[in-house]
Amino acid sequence: MSTNDKLAPGVTLGRYELLLPIAQGGMATVWAARQKGSRGFQKTVAVKTMLPSLSEDPQFEQMFLDEAALAAKIHHPNVAEILDLGEEEDILYIVMEWVDGEALSTITKQAKKLNVTIQHHIALKAISQACLGLHAAHELKDDEGQILHLVHRDVSPQNILVTYDGIVKLVDFGVAKAMGRAGGETTAGQLKGKVPYMSPEQARGGNVDRKTDIFAMGIVLYKLTTGLHPFLGENDLVTMKNIIGRPVPSPRLKNPQFPVELEQVILKCLQKSLKSASKQCWSCIRQSKKCKLQWGRRLSTTTWDRSFDRSSVTAVKSVGWHCAMRFVHSMSARRHLRARQRRLPCSTTR
């Protein structure tokens, strides 16, 4: 049995005590963990460990190391921060900031279960914050000031976290690609990313750039505001064919009351022509600011402008977020109960 197979609550990796697994993807497991310091210092963090089945694969090990190296360079309030990289008895692990919240995928599932509609301005604010973090990644530069051309390649609701205070954090650069990174190249017969959120060039196995991430964000926004996926088929192969060849269905076909301005933002993100596709997350954010959506309680112009201002994006908390967070409060209570049972120190401040 490998050392990785023995990972369990209570196991210590360096300064970090594993408490409980909270998520598992195709490449790694994420644990809630406790960082221990001198004189009783403690801090809750997230620790990502590679799956045992992949730990002996040099390619996946390089991808894991690349994720730590790339993401650690991004310093932005809408990107989960990488704190440390360590190795303990041949176990590689990445330490990240603890995000006290839920994935956007969890929020939407809970909303559907409770038959609650996420209002358009809330959805747009969430995606706009995620775009701010994505823009920071796209503009990342090396030590010589050259753009790294970083592409996330796995933008999806599972990788967009929303804190209970209403701050959005982009996570998981595990399949990110940057110029000069050998581990980021796609080999023949291998696709990186989640099929339902791929761009046409990604589905074809072609070259990707930042437009790939913008296309994926457009799919997320489409699904978040309509409840439907624009390209979803009965299986992954059909979905990929739809992404490559099927026109984007207008949100207003299903709902004539769908705001025209919001539809324009979505369609701008989902342009399939490389010439006409949006090349900057920031341009999509600027267009979203112009939306004059007809929701029941319109945000004031001052609040709307401040919510997209780079310098104050972390300080603005729209009252609309409290509506979205009602979906996850019950899940929060259960998670905190489990945490207390395992003596996990959690913040109860809202």
CA pair distance 61, 150, nearest whole angstrom: 19
Which residues on neighbouring strands pair with residue 47, listed in sequence order? 31, 95
CA pair distance 316, 167, nearest whole angstrom: 9
How many residues would you count in the chain? 350
The phi and psi torsions of 119 (rounded to 5 degrees) equal -65, 150
Residues 6+ away with beta carbon under 8 Å from 96: 45, 46, 47, 48, 80, 81, 82, 83, 171
Place of tokens 């690609």: 177
Question: Of the candidates 283, 276, 272, 206, which has an alpha carbon nearest to the alpha carbon of residue 245?
Answer: 272
Count the neighbouring beta carbons within 10 Å of the beta carbon of residue 131: 28
Q: Contact, 170 vs 253, CB < 8 A?
A: no
Q: Contact, 55 vs 2, CB < 8 A?
A: yes
Per the residue annotation, which of 66, 100, 154, 172 is the catalytic one?
Answer: 154
Label the pairing between strands 82-88 and 12-13: unpaired
Judge whether 154 counts as a catalytic residue.
Answer: yes
108 dihedral zone (left: phi>0; alpha: psi -120 to 50; beta): alpha
Show the DSSP H helices in the chain as ranges.
58-71, 104-113, 120-138, 200-203, 210-226, 236-245, 251-254, 260-269, 281-289, 301-307, 320-341
Question: Of the candidates 35, 47, 67, which has an alpha carbon nearest to the alpha carbon of residue 4?
Answer: 47
CA pair distance 335, 341, nearest whole angstrom: 10
Residues taking part in catalysis: 154
